[in-house]
Structure 1
Amino acid sequence: MAVGSYWPDHLLTLDDWDALPEDNSRYYELAEGVLIASPRPPSRHQRTALRLCTQIEPQLPCGYSVLMQSEVVVDHGHPPTVRVPDVLVGPTADIDANLPRWNAGDLLLAVEVLADGTRRTDRRAKFFEYAAAGIRHYWLVDLEPVGLTVYQLNDGDYELAAIGSGAVTSQLAGTPITIDLPALTSSRAGR
């Protein structure tokens, strides 16, 4: 998805979203039909998301897999909302089906790496959108200083489940997942 020199002058539908020209120079989301463009995440942000994926994947319960920056429809109504979490965990069968985008209610986990320019959106707007859409777990990774805040869906609202800055363990589908936070941002020794 992308827009190049074209910028829509109306609230977009999912069909409009699909019809936008390809443009990978920015990071795009759709918030209540409004196209949102952000700069691509900087290197440290991308490395953190990648390392988080490599820590999560081998610990997941059978039937789940991890992806980076995949489209998630959090509201199908008019106007729709499409978000792109930094990391998500969903059914392996849906990945194997090569879906173009995810339905939020099918996700086990959405993760946002906090960054300047998106911090408020991740902590407020996405927090409520993801809960309303039924995403069972929501994690926020902070890089300054490194930390993890874990929320779990309970009766339609997120409740704080864990917070930490070293090794943090949380349950996903009844399986403990441990994240070594310093390893997400440290330089690799000896290289």
Structure 2
Amino acid sequence: MGGTMTAEPTTAHSSRWPVPPQDGYTVDDLFTLPDLPPHTELIDGSLVFVSPQRDFHSTMIDLLMTGLRSTAPPEVRVRREMTVVLDRRNAPEPDVSVVRTEAITGLDVTRYQAADVLLAVEVVSPDSEARDREAKPHKYATAGIPHFWLVEMTGTDQHPVVRVYELDPVTKAYALTGIHHDRLKTGVPFPVDVDISAEALAAL
């Protein structure tokens, strides 16, 4: 009888915060566990919850989305905050992704495979700084995503800076190809020309 009494609260508790499996969660868990908060990421088998966004984070994503979409060729699509499956135990959610158009098979798509992603963009937040700067780029590179951008707010005037990286196929690591302060102009993954000045951000 004692067993029955303790079983109930435990069940209620475990349905809310499931105990992780011994070798960590998998991508399947990420999409089947009930009641996960929006934008939960899977990193090395652990669930990572997103803190409330700063205005910089949200408006910077908007600025990049508009800029990228204005020059994106028909064979790619620009998406914000969608899960990208890198392997069984890693499914991060880049702030912006450029994906092959054929990977978008319908409006009910919930994830993309790394092989279909040409560019992953992370806008650094204070709570996720180490993940955005170290863990995620390394994982994106290992998964073969050819382009990665790291976006930060910098300087006393709090202007955006975008670091542009390209995958070196020999080392399977990202090489920095440019640091952009007021204007993001690059030829890859397609010709991009975006005003990323503090003024452009403030105008949104």
Q: Give the TM-score category using the shorter length.
A: 0.7 to 0.9
Given residue 50 of structure 1, which amino acid in structure 2 is its aligned partner? D
Q: How many angstroms does 1:172 deviate by?
A: 2.2
Shift of residue 96 of structure 1? 3.9
Q: 1:20 aligns with which of 25, 29, 33?
A: 33
* TM-score for both structures, normalised by structure 2: 0.81
Which amino acid is the alignment partner of residue 95 of structure 2? Answer: D
Aligned partners of 2:174, 2:145: CA distance in 1, in Å? 10
Spell out structure 1 runs of 4+ moving beyond 4 A. Answer: none
Equivalent position of 2:125 in the other structure: 115
Distance 1:39 1:59 in 2: 31
Give yes or no for contact 2:123–2:151 (8 Å, CA) kept in 1: yes
Q: Deviations over 1:32-64 (max 9, x none)?
A: 211111213233311210121011012112310
Say whether residues 1:95 and 2:95 are aligned partners: no
- Counterpart of 1:5 in structure 2 is 16
| Structure ID, larger Rg | 2
Aligned counterpart, 2:176: 160
Which residue in the other structure is 1:185 paired with? Answer: 201
Which of the pair is proportionally richer in helix? 2
Percentage identity across aligned positions?
A: 29
The CA distance in 1 between the partners of 2:39 and 2:82, in whole Å, is 11
Q: Any gaps of 5 or more consecutive residues in structure 2? A: 1-13
Higher strand share: 1
Aligned residues: 181
Query: Can you give the 5+ residue segments of structure 1 that lack an aligned partner in the other structure?
Result: none
1:184 to partner: Cα distance: 5.0
Matched to 1:8, the amino acid is V
C-alpha distance in structure 2 between counterparts of 1:110 and 1:178, whole Å: 17
Q: Which amino acid aligns with 2:16?
A: S
Bigger mean CA deviation after superposition, 152-161 or 15-24: 15-24
Aligned Cα root-mean-square deviation (Å): 2.0
Measured at CA, do residues 72 and 143 of structure 1 come closer, stay the same or move farther in structure 2, by a change above 3 Å? same
Question: Would the aligned equivalents of 1:69 and 1:86 in 2 still touch at CA under 8 Å?
Answer: yes
